[in-house]
């Protein structure tokens, strides 16, 4: 699997679940990530089969693995889109529904199992943690699914806020190694950026696993939906 770097991103020294730091990379939309396929659904009325993994058991992401993924997302720099480490980033504490999901169904690089699991994961809104193992310049707020309104609320609570971000729930493929998340990232001088990240997970050796299976996200493939 070959992932070509597109632009620099922040490297975060992740602790606990995010302990083993890995350089994060962003690749072009057309670059190959794996031999798998992917999602969107506004009102998800279409019946979806549960994803069955190699061991025959239907599996979801563990809370510990979700923690590692959101740590990596918050430390990623969002593809080098201009967020400065000196700024204050605020994230919404509630997941948001993904948009333009049909666009992903046409992406041959995204596996069917990843699409199905992502759709299932996003049938309900879920809370994120109040905090992650990330720099003090990243804070959380209970806000709106509308990311522009989230920014207004963030500025009222944190006048130094320079950017906000909302995330969907995360889906995982049947190899438990490729993830998918929808992101809305807003900075006043650059506007609203909406995209998906297809993520390659860094797995710990079985002998080193305590709770989480992942130690970090090793690369991101950005799929714009603007």
Residue 6 forms part of a structural domain? no
Helix or strand (DSSP H, E) at 102: helix 102-105
Residue 30 forms part of a structural domain? yes
Q: What is the pTM of this model?
A: 0.74
Residue 181 forms part of a structural domain? yes
Residue 11 forms part of a structural domain? no
User: Which of 32-41, 156-165, 168-177, 189-198 has the least mean pLDDT?
Assistant: 32-41
Q: pLDDT digits over 118-148, tens only?
A: 999 999 999 999 999 887 789 999 878 999 9
Residue 45 forms part of a structural domain? no
**Strand pairing of 26-27 and 191-203?**
unpaired
Residue 52 forms part of a structural domain? no
Residue 5 forms part of a structural domain? no
Give the closest residue to 203 by CA, choosing from 73, 92, 64: 64
Residue 220's SS3 state is strand
Q: pLDDT digits over 94-110, tens only?
A: 999 999 998 898 899 99
Distance CA 94, CA 130 (A): 10
pLDDT score, position 148: 95
Distance CA 72, CA 39 (A): 21
How far from 122 is each of 160, 167, 183, 212, CA to CA, in Å? 31, 11, 13, 21
Residue 194 forms part of a structural domain? yes
Q: pLDDT digits over 61-83, tens only?
A: 889 999 999 999 998 776 554 45
Give the closest residue to 167 by CA, choosing from 190, 140, 187: 140
Which domain range does residue 114 map to? 16-40+57-224
How far from 17 is each of 11, 79, 149, CA to CA, in Å? 15, 22, 31
Distance CA 89, CA 147 (A): 13
Overall domain count for the chain? 1
């Amino acid at each position: 699997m070959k992932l070509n770097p597109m632009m620099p991103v922040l490297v975060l020294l992740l602790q606990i679940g995010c302990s083993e730091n890995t350089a994060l990379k962003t690749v072009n939309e057309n670059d190959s990530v794996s031999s798998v396929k992917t999602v969107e659904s506004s009102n998800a009325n279409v019946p979806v089969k549960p994803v069955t993994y190699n061991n025959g058991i239907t599996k979801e992401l563990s809370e510990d693995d979700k923690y590692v993924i959101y740590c990596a997302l918050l430390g990623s720099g969002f593809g080098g889109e201009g967020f400065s480490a000196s700024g204050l980033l605020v994230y919404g504490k509630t997941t948001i529904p993904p948009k333009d999901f049909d666009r992903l169904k046409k992406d041959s690089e995204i596996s069917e199992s990843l699409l199905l699991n992502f759709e299932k994961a996003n049938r309900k809104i879920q809370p994120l943690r109040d905090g992650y193992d990330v720099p003090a310049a990243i804070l959380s707020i209970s806000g709106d699914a509308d990311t522009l309104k989230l920014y207004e609320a963030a500025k009222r609570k944190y006048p130094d806020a320079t950017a906000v971000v909302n995330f969907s729930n995360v889906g995982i493929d049947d190899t438990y190694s490729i993830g998918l998340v929808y992101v809305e990232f807003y900075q006043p001088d650059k506007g609203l950026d909406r995209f998906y990240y297809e993520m390659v997970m860094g797995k710990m050796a079985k002998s080193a696993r305590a709770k989480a299976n992942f130690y970090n996200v090793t690369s991101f493939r950005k799929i714009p939906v603007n």
